[in-house]
Structure 1
Amino acid sequence: MSFPKFKPSAISLAVLVLSCSLAQAQVQVQAQPAAPAADPAAIQTMPTVNVNVSADATASGLPAEYPGGQVARGGRLGVLGNVDQMNAPFSSTVYTQTLMQDQQTRSIADVLQNDPTVRVARGFGNYQELYMIRGFPVNSDDLAYNGLYGLLPRQFVATELLERVEVLRGANTFINGATPGGGGIGGAINLVPKRAPNDPLTQVTAGVDSGGQAYLATDLARRFGPDNSTGIRVNLVRRSGDTAIDNEERQLSVASVGLDHRGRDFRLSADVGFQEHKLDQSRPSLLLAPGIAVPGAPDASSNFSQPWVYSNERDTFGTVRGEFDLAPDVTAWAAAGARRGSENNSLANTTATSAAGDTSTYRFDNARRDTVTTGEVGIRGKLRTGDVGHALSATASTFTLKSRNAYAISDFAGFASNIYSPVSVAAPAADFFVGGVLSDPLLTQKSELSSIALVDTLSFAQDRLLLTVGARRQTIKEKGYDYTSGAETANYDKSAVTPVAGVVFKPMQNLSLYANYIESLTKGPVAGGTALNAGEVFAPYRSKQKEIGAKYDAGTYGMNLALFTTSQPMGVLNGSNIFGIDGEQRNRGAEFTVYGAPVRGLRLLGGLTLLDAKQRRTASGANDGKDVIGTPDLQANLSAEWDVPGVRGLSLSGRVLHTASQYADAANTQKVPSWRRVDAGVRYVTSLGKQALTLRGQVENLTNRDYWASAGGYPGSGYLVLGAPRTLTVSATLDF
């Protein structure tokens, strides 16, 4: 596995200059008269290392869990590091391993079902998980793993790999850098790998789902050496069998190792992981022919796929990270990561041609091979100038993706079927439209992202007022190559600077008022072949966000409120047949979240989102003022977990999710009905001999409702995804 090399440049020079400045400031600010000579015996005594492990190798460890254990008090904010949410001028929620284990989550999508600001969709034409945050898509290409992009499997990420799932809402290019998949407008998701806790861990979980899918997982952790300074954690997972959807089969194999070492003035960590995910006859998304009414949702357990459909994904990935204390309040860090991934699919792309559920389907085969290398270096320090505190940070990052692709498509005329009474057919020949060789795809895409960021958080009035200002210079380079010949077909190379300004004011210790202005940056388009300016390359899109909010911490429960507006430029072909960045999508909304344990034995998690996502300045004004595809105006979640009085170890849980109606087309003629889902669960903690035993049961979609769970996800496309049927999951966890 190879890791990226940083080239000498203005980026590394800026980091070096800040390093020297911070170190010099520390000497000046903290200079004290010489202390008396120390006792020789004391010199021989090393201080005890406090093992408070953190995946990003910080001295303080992970932010503490909030009462109830389902969320944490803070999380990673890119260049800013771990920040307590009461000190952050942004909206975020960090979900813990406790929640993931108690809810028996399988993937990131399961975790984010708890978030009222997020709805889960799917990638265009495949089974990739996709997350709509504030009405903008964040696909799994844009997930960060311990702060680095592009390292995790593209389609599905197993939660057994993770300690926490950190959700940051809103534009975030300054915080994390531009994303490789073009997201980062509505939010960001960082996944935190597991580390060995202070106490030895030997845990085995076995379970089964509706349909007969079996599950076995092992979680092992130990600490070694003086003061337990070195840790190792190993996770092994296997899922296999049918799902609750007719004829659908899933296989998952996961293995990961997490290492960490804590020295007196440095911390090191490393992760290596492997995941293989196989789907057979999985149910596809449903495209809609123009002008038809949306068909009613078929039976949630039914399957309108084909027997020859499959999707196989295999990934190996790793990261290393180190943090070094240069002075009492100055720390430098470096991180690197790499991934090799392969995907092979044979998909049934299905389009509804009538409201009666008639369909036309064609076969689409594709192969993909990815190689990713990425890394960052940085320095962070604190100092004071008079009564003003400063928390200064600088970072430089790099990302490279080399992707090899090939495809083969059958006749687009396809074959007929119906979603209510599907017909199985033999696989049609995929020879109508071919690009490359599936068994040996050529290089078709090379993406390079690089950036430098500088930020200062100033603190006034005994830290009651915090002001964050900074900027990131981002460069986006991308080359495209012909699928068959390998010849270069496109070359994109643009740079831009995105600023950030945020303020937090604490009128009381448990109340924070905040505001921010921040931008996101995504690759600009190239004018298409039908435009008079075909081939013109446009600068990166700047999406601009303004937000105000309040956070209240009552000690055992918390509440957050945010009001935001985000504008994203859109490409438009005008009446003169000239393509330009003249359109706009504007998303405005309000979010409310609640979490914690307001009374003993009761844990709450939920909230709601009000969203107004409109198209503006569209081509010839045809869709001005109409809703953006796949953006419901109301999303609400509420989950509760209750410890039953008088029955030690018994807990009951329930969750309600509501999503308002949404549109599957830009003209707002294809309306998808609202839906509501109820989940329920039970957990019982007891003992088997001297070992702790936890029994869990969870039912998703308790009422077995048939509904379209999402519309769209890929910009400008309004495909539908059918919600899962009633699904029972039971498991037993034994701690040795």
Structure 2
Amino acid sequence: MKKSITPVALAAALSCLSLSAARAQQASDTKAEPSKLETVVVNASADASKDGLIKPYAGGQVARGGRAGILGTKDNLDTPFSITAYTNELIQDRQAKSVADVLQNDAGVRVARGYGNFQESYFIRGFLLSSDDVAYNGLFSLLPRQYIATELFERVEVLRGASSFLLGSSPGSDGIGGSVNLVPKRAASQDLSRVTVSTASGGQTGVSADVSRRFGPDKSTGIRINAAYSDGGTAVHDEHAKLGLLDVALDWHSRDVRLSADLGYQDNQLKRTRTNVALQGLTAIPKLPDSDANFAQPWSYSNERDTFGTLRGEYDINDAVTAWVAYGARRSSEANSLANLTVTSANGDGNTSRFDNTREDAVDTGELGLRGKFKTGSIGHEWVATASSFQLRKKTAYVWDYYNTQSTNLYSPTYLDQQPAFRAPYDFTTNPTGAFYGGDLANPALTGVTRLTSYAIGDTLSMLQDSLLVTLGARHQRLHVEGFGYQLAAPYDESRTSPVVGAVFKAGKQLSFYGNYIEGLSQGDTVQPTNGGAAFQLAPYVSRQKEIGVKYDAGRIGFDAALFTTNKPRPVQSTTVAQGYDRHTGLELNVFGEATRDLKILGGLTLLDTTQHDTGSALTEGKRTLGAAKTLANLGLEWSVPSVDGLALDGRVVYTGGVYADSANTLAVPSWTRFDLGARYNFEVQRTLMTARLRIENAADRKYWASAGGYPEQGYLVIGAPRTIKLSLSADF
């Protein structure tokens, strides 16, 4: 049975609608021209940079450009890469709660889930990016590892394609198809005091506050504080989620110096969250259960607590040269008790076994660099030189009751008692169930260290009166990975130089053509030869991307198109170090802005051809890669109702073509289409701006498999969320 929204929330919504009707009637009676209410828009520096936060495009849903890694923030028409930056206005109006919710607006991205847990993962151009490898203001892995709440950032920037030169190799060695950078919040010149209360299907309720001020005679010092708390069920039967966070952002500037700092904390607790569905021995995808069905065990949970901080400074050495330095750290702890479902029969029969684990992360990362400008004759130069360092120290422990599997069913679950062997303290000496285990759950030991160092230099040459821009550069990277304890492994220590070549030709103020060659770099896999010989680890994988595209700015509406091909190496199980590769070729089309004065548009189309080559097996040779759809399409429209001042209605359709849940392409997952609807109403109460928002996601309550995979070569399935109703009310004091 589906849970409904709370009566208090319904009363609040009805009150808002009553105010709307009364206001409209009053305007009609007096025949007065309705006054336009102004929403508080925060425009502030995203970091300690001279340029600050790039302005939103018409409609306010995306920005005019975004961060191109070490090249800095660039206007879309000036960069040889495909970048979309989603604004905080879009985040609020779509009531997005996490990075995944924001990326639902992108036609080149689809959301998946981590292997065995509830971590967010993203398919970008058909390649995986885990939330571990999301960047925060240009630095990797600083925000919570599994789930990042939207209160912690101002914008979501999607850089499509490989990015080793721009950002460096990611800690998780993925992100070949694209990267995600989250822009921190800063205090704007206009004071902000915003409180939001919300509720959603299942009884989930929440409250958040966003407060910022600037101080001093020249407003040189700023502080912005975000706090949020939510608790309750979800639209899925008997799921429960609880979230608490606090984030403080500080900044200060003088004529030549800019400083900023962030300190944040997030506590995310999940209970009885619906699990992934693994498949074993099936020849076809099983039918879907009810959209709100929950087959998770009642004692299962996943808790994650993260504390993070950043410091960034920038100094103008002179008018032509600027130096910067940045440092970030994260300390986190996780504890999980999981029981994922494996389906072994077409009638939904399957089994589950308990898996408990704990983890502690210590991340320290930093970057320093110089950026400047000069001319050689008629040629301008914008050069950059950087050095960066990243270290992750990981402590983990687990107990897996592998031999004690319990029977259950996808459609008629059997709910099991918690197994005694897992009740703390676990007795490792007797180990009565024969469970696999590694380390001590109560005191996890060091099991892995990842160190990444790199040095990069680049130059953008401007010629022909700045109508031709050519970017050249290279980054030398070292990958050092060690395993300890039950993950003991010989150190992996490899290095590689990754080049980039990019060009932009500006055919006018509104039209530019671009092209690039850029590489991705990731750690090579460990290969076990089929003849039983000793395992060996491959050299770093070098992914090669070629892309051409066009961008057009019509003033109020923008278009861009990109044609790309990327080759990503893959291991071959053999006696040699020969490698196969996956080739992803695609076409991306995007549109954004205002189709008319009252109609905003945000949409796109991605066509993908993904093929496995030189796999060493006739079963997979020439087949599509796991989890990647051929066709992705989004269309979002928002209409400001002319006859009712402050009222806007929106709708979004998301289409995902069929995918395969295995590399041999025997398990076909059907395509799906989802419709979302929303409404927003701005009004005043005693000179206080109020914003009421209503959202209905998956309005038709469509049953669908939202993704296949989310971890390399693992074809588990995730069920799409059922119809979910969200209500919120914000007050700007």
Give the TM-score, by structure 1 length. 0.91
Q: For 1:595-632, what per-residue CA distance to the aligned partner results, in whole angstroms no more than 9, with x for missing partners?
A: 00121011100111000111111123331111111011
CA distance in 1, matches of 2:142, 2:104: 23
Equivalent residue in structure 2 for 1:83, among 53, 67, 74: 74
Secondary structure of 1:508 counterpart: coil
Structure 1 residues 531 and 90: CA distance shift in structure 2, 3 A: farther
Secondary structure of 2:70 counterpart: helix
Q: For 1:510-544, what per-residue CA distance to the aligned partner results, in whole angstroms no more than 9, with x for missing partners?
A: 11100000000001123337665524332210010
What is the aligned partner in structure 1 of residue 368 from structure 2?
A: 377
Q: CA deviation at 1:419?
A: 1.2
Equivalent residue in structure 2 for 1:284, among 275, 296, 305: 275
Matched-pair contact (CA < 8 Å) for 2:282–2:345: no
Equivalent residue in structure 2 for 1:708, among 705, 712, 718: 705
1:592 aligns with 2:589: yes
Q: For 1:624-670, what per-residue CA distance to the aligned partner results, in whole angstroms no more than 9, with x for missing partners?
A: 11111101100000000000011000000000000011100111110
CA distance in 1, matches of 2:530, 2:608: 35
Equivalent residue in structure 1 for 2:324, among 333, 342, 352: 333
Secondary structure of 2:77 counterpart: helix
What is the aligned partner in structure 1 of residue 484 from structure 2?
A: 481
What is the aligned partner in structure 1 of residue 498 from structure 2?
A: 498
What is the aligned partner in structure 1 of residue 381 from structure 2?
A: 390
Which ranges in structure 2 are unaligned for 5 or more consecutive residues?
1-41, 423-432
Equivalent residue in structure 2 for 1:311, among 296, 302, 313: 302
Equivalent residue in structure 1 for 2:448, among 424, 437, 445: 445
Matched-pair contact (CA < 8 Å) for 2:324–2:370: yes
Q: CA deviation at 1:52?
A: 6.8
Amino acid at match of 2:491: N
What is the aligned partner in structure 1 of residue 473 from structure 2?
A: 470
Matched-pair contact (CA < 8 Å) for 1:360–1:413: no
Matched-pair contact (CA < 8 Å) for 2:529–2:573: no
CA distance in 2, matches of 1:629, 1:538: 22
Amino acid at match of 2:461: L
**Matches for 1:67-146 after TM superposition, within 5 Å:** 67-146=58-137
What is the aligned partner in structure 2 of residue 582 from structure 1?
A: 579
Q: CA deviation at 1:307?
A: 0.3
CA distance in 2, matches of 1:354, 1:490: 40
CA distance in 1, matches of 2:150, 2:684: 26
Secondary structure of 2:188 counterpart: coil
Structure 1 residues 52 and 601: CA distance shift in structure 2, 3 A: closer
Which ranges in structure 1 are unaligned for 5 or more consecutive residues?
1-50
Q: CA deviation at 1:202?
A: 0.5
**Matches for 1:367-446 after TM superposition, within 5 Å:** 367-412=358-403, 414-428=405-419, 429-430=421-422, 431=433, 432-446=435-449
Q: CA deviation at 1:61?
A: 1.0
Count matched residues: 680
1:513 aligns with 2:513: yes
Amino acid at match of 1:518: I
CA distance in 2, matches of 1:123, 1:352: 18
What is the aligned partner in structure 1 of residue 522 from structure 2?
A: 522
Matched-pair contact (CA < 8 Å) for 1:357–1:419: yes
Amino acid at match of 1:459: S
CA distance in 1, matches of 2:175, 2:716: 22
What is the aligned partner in structure 2 of residue 570 from structure 1?
A: 570
CA distance in 2, matches of 1:607, 1:352: 35
Matched-pair contact (CA < 8 Å) for 1:292–1:354: no
**Matches for 1:15-30 after TM superposition, within 5 Å:** none
Moved more, 188-197 or 284-293: 284-293
Q: For 1:428-476, what per-residue CA distance to the aligned partner results, in whole angstroms no more than 9, with x for missing partners?
A: 3455111110000110000000000000000011111000010000000
What is the aligned partner in structure 2 of residue 607 from structure 1?
A: 604
CA distance in 2, matches of 1:530, 1:314: 42
Matched-pair contact (CA < 8 Å) for 2:707–2:719: yes
Matched-pair contact (CA < 8 Å) for 1:72–1:93: yes
**Matches for 1:606-645 after TM superposition, within 5 Å:** 606-645=603-642
Structure 1 residues 63 and 533: CA distance shift in structure 2, 3 A: farther
Amino acid at match of 1:629: L
CA distance in 2, matches of 1:435, 1:463: 60
Q: For 1:278-297, what per-residue CA distance to the aligned partner results, in whole angstroms no more than 9, with x for missing partners?
A: 00000000011134310111
CA RMSD in angstroms, aligned pairs only = 1.3
Q: CA deviation at 1:208?
A: 0.3
Matched-pair contact (CA < 8 Å) for 1:292–1:353: no
CA distance in 2, matches of 1:679, 1:673: 20
Matched-pair contact (CA < 8 Å) for 1:474–1:496: yes
Matched-pair contact (CA < 8 Å) for 2:543–2:569: yes
Moved more, 617-626 or 651-660: 617-626
What is the aligned partner in structure 2 of residue 455 from structure 1?
A: 458
Amino acid at match of 1:458: L
CA distance in 1, matches of 2:184, 2:287: 41
Moved more, 365-374 or 403-412: 403-412
Amino acid at match of 1:543: S
Q: For 1:227-272, what per-residue CA distance to the aligned partner results, in whole angstroms no more than 9, with x for missing partners?
A: 1011000000001001110000000001000000111111000000
Matched-pair contact (CA < 8 Å) for 2:527–2:572: no
Amino acid at match of 2:472: V
What is the aligned partner in structure 2 of residue 349 from structure 1?
A: 340
Amino acid at match of 1:476: L
CA distance in 1, matches of 2:166, 2:445: 34
1:687 aligns with 2:684: yes
Q: CA deviation at 1:87?
A: 0.6
CA distance in 2, matches of 1:384, 1:61: 24
Equivalent residue in structure 1 for 2:181, among 190, 201, 205: 190
Q: CA deviation at 1:357?
A: 1.3
Amino acid at match of 1:295: P
Matched-pair contact (CA < 8 Å) for 1:85–1:92: yes
| Aligned sequence identity (%) | 53
CA distance in 1, matches of 2:312, 2:509: 34
Matched-pair contact (CA < 8 Å) for 1:370–1:403: yes
Secondary structure of 1:228 counterpart: coil
Q: For 1:130-151, what per-residue CA distance to the aligned partner results, in whole angstroms no more than 9, with x for missing partners?
A: 0100000000110001110111
CA distance in 2, matches of 1:620, 1:656: 39
Give the TM-score, by structure 2 length. 0.91
Amino acid at match of 2:492: Y
Structure 1 residues 220 and 369: CA distance shift in structure 2, 3 A: same
Amino acid at match of 2:666: T
Amino acid at match of 1:571: P
What is the aligned partner in structure 2 of residue 11 from structure 1?
A: none
Q: CA deviation at 1:298?
A: 1.1
Secondary structure of 2:151 counterpart: helix
Structure 1 residues 529 and 317: CA distance shift in structure 2, 3 A: farther
Amino acid at match of 1:573: Q
Secondary structure of 1:99 counterpart: helix
Structure 1 residues 329 and 134: CA distance shift in structure 2, 3 A: same
Secondary structure of 1:267 counterpart: strand
CA distance in 2, matches of 1:66, 1:683: 20
Q: CA deviation at 1:427?
A: 2.2
CA distance in 2, matches of 1:585, 1:226: 58
1:648 aligns with 2:674: no
**Matches for 1:173-322 after TM superposition, within 5 Å:** 173-322=164-313
1:663 aligns with 2:660: yes
Secondary structure of 1:479 counterpart: strand
Matched-pair contact (CA < 8 Å) for 2:397–2:445: yes
